[in-house]
Amino acid sequence: MDKNAKSPLLVLFLVVLIDMIGFTLVIPFLTYFIQDLAENGGITDLGARDRWVGITLAAYTFGQFLFTPILGSLSDKLGRRKIIIIGLISNTIFLFAFGLSESLWFALLVRFLAGVGNANIAVSRAYIGDISTPDQLAGRMGLIGAAFGLGFMIGPFIGGVLSDPANVIGGIFNTDFWRNHPYLLPCIFSSILSAISLILAIFTLPESLPENKRDTQLESPLDTTKKIIKNLVGIKDLAPSVRLLILVNAIFLLSFTMMHATFILFTGMEIGRGGLGYDARMNGYLFAYVGLIGVIVQGGLIRPLSQKFGNKKLMFIGLITTGIGLTWIPYLNPTPIVIGLLVMTFIAVGNGLFQPTQSTLLTLEARESRMDLGLIMGSQEGIGALSRVIGPLLAAFVWEATVDGNGIWTYHTVFHICGILMLFGALMQLKLKLIKPEKRISEN
C-alpha cells in the first residue's frame, strides 16, 4: 500500500489543488457580485441587499447537503474515481455559468447546481482513507488539507486581480461587454482550471477502492432519501466517539460559515460605518494570506505536531484559536494592517489544526467501529453541509437585523455568536473518548 499510494496521492493532491484554485476564485468578488445583482433587481435597502449574499452561499451548501450522502454512498458502490470526475465536470460547467448571471435567481440556481457536483469532497477524503495506514492518515489528511490551503491562497488572489478587468486591466477588456460583466473573467479562468483538473483525473487518477471491497447492492432513490434522513436523525446509532466528532465538526462549520457569509460584508463596508472599506482585490490578498498560513500548518507542521501532542489535543486547540480569531474580527481597523493579519493568522492556524486532526480521528474511529468509510464521511459531510446551509442564512438575517443597531446588537453580533459556538464545540470535545487510545496510534 505504501509504495503504490504515493503516486495516486500526488495526483489527488494536484486534482484537489487545481480544483480548489478554480473554486476559491469566486470568494473575493461573490459578495460584491450578489450585491450588484440585488441592486439591479431593485433591492436597495442595505440589510435586505446583504441578506441575499447569505442566501446565495446557502444555495451552494444546500446542494452539497442534499447530495453529499448520495455521492458518498455511490462511491462505496461505483468507486471513488467516478464520483470525483462527476464533481469536476459540474464545477467546470457551473463556475463559467455563474459569471454570466444577470439575475439573483439565475445565480442562486447555478450556485445550487455547483454545490450538487462539489458534494464529492467527502469522496476525496474517503480516497485518502482507502490508500493510507492509520499512522499515515494525519500526514496525508494534512497534505490534502494543504492542497485546500494552497488553492485557497492562489484562488482568491487571482480572483481579486481578475475582477472588473475593464477598469483594472484595460486594453482588450476596456469594452462595454466586460463593463457589464465585471466578474466573468475570473469565472472563465476558474472554469478552465477545473477542466484541467478534470483531464488530469480522467487520465492519471487510479481507482482507490477495489471491486471486491465495494458495496454491490444498489439503492433505490427512496432508500437513498431515507439514508439522508437517517444521517440527520439517526446519528444516535453511531459509535459515541464518531457521533461526537461529527457534531463538533458541524458546530465548527456552523460558526465558520457564519463568518464567511459576513466577513466581506464587514471588510467591504464603508469606514465611516465601522467597516474597512476594502475592495475585491484587497479581500483577495487577505484570503491569500489565510491560504498561505494554511499551507504551512497543514502541509508541514500538522504531522510532527500530531505525533508530539496528539490529534485530540490539536483539535481542541484549533477550536479555541479559531474562536478567538472570529470574535476579534469586528474590532479591526483599516490600520495597522498587521493587526488584521494577526487575526487572520489565528483563524488560519486554528482551522489548519482542526480540519486534518478531526478528519483523522473520525477515520480511525470509523474503522474501529467497523463501518463503511464512505458512509461515515458522507454522513459527516451531509450534516456538515446542513451547518453550511444554516450558517450563511442565520448570519444573513442576524446581520440584516443588527448592522444598523446600537448597544450590544450591532454588526459585531454575528462574530460574537461565532466565538460562542467555537467555545461550545471545544467544551463538547472535552467529552471525547476514543475507541482506540491515541498513544497506541502514535507508537505504531
Q: Which three cell numbers stand for residue 366?
A: 470509523
- What is the model's pLDDT at position 37? 92
What's the pLDDT tens digit per position in 108-140? Answer: 999 998 888 776 777 877 888 777 777 777 677
Domains of the chain, CATH where assigned: 2-203+222-437 (1.20.1250.20)
pLDDT in tens, 291-325: 888 888 877 788 889 888 888 999 999 999 999 99
- The values of phi and psi at residue 60, to 5°, are -65, -50
Name the pTM for this structure. Answer: 0.78
Segment 347-384, tens digit of pLDDT: 999 999 998 899 888 888 877 777 666 667 767 766 88
- What's the sign of the alpha-carbon dihedral 9, 23, 55, 397? positive
For residue range 32-86, list pLDDT tens digits in order.
999 999 998 888 888 888 889 989 988 887 887 777 777 777 888 888 888 888 8
Band (pLDDT 50/70/90 cuts) for residue 151 is confident
Picking from 344-353, 392-401, 405-414, which range would have the lowest pLDDT averaged per residue?
A: 405-414
User: Cβ-count burial of 438 within 10 angstroms (0-12 exposed, 13-18 middle, 19+ buried)?
Assistant: middle
pLDDT beyond 50 at 283: yes
> Has residue 417 got a pLDDT over 70?
yes
**Mean pLDDT (whole number) for 157-174:** 88
pLDDT, average across residues 21-38: 86
> Which amino acid makes up residue 425?
G
What's the rounded mean pLDDT across residues 213-226?
63
For 107, the enclosing helix (H) or strand (E) is: helix 104-117
Which pLDDT score, from 0 to 100, does residue 441 have? Answer: 43
State yes or no: pLDDT of 233 exceeds 80.
Answer: no
Instruction: Give the model's pLDDT for residue 253.
Output: 94
Q: Is the pLDDT of residue 234 over 70?
A: no
- Tell me the mean pLDDT in the region 225-238: 64
Cell, residue 260: 464567511
Of the chain, the percentage scoring pLDDT greater than 90 comes to 28
3-state secondary structure string across 347-403? HHHHHHHHHHHHHHHHHHHHHHCCCCHHHHHHHHHHHHHHHHHHHHHHHHHHHHHHC
| Banded pLDDT at 209 (limits 50, 70, 90) | confident
Average pLDDT over residues 397-416: 88
Q: Is the pLDDT of residue 257 over 50?
A: yes
Considering only CA atoms, which of 95, 126, 135 is closest in space to residue 371? Answer: 126
pLDDT of residue 188: 93
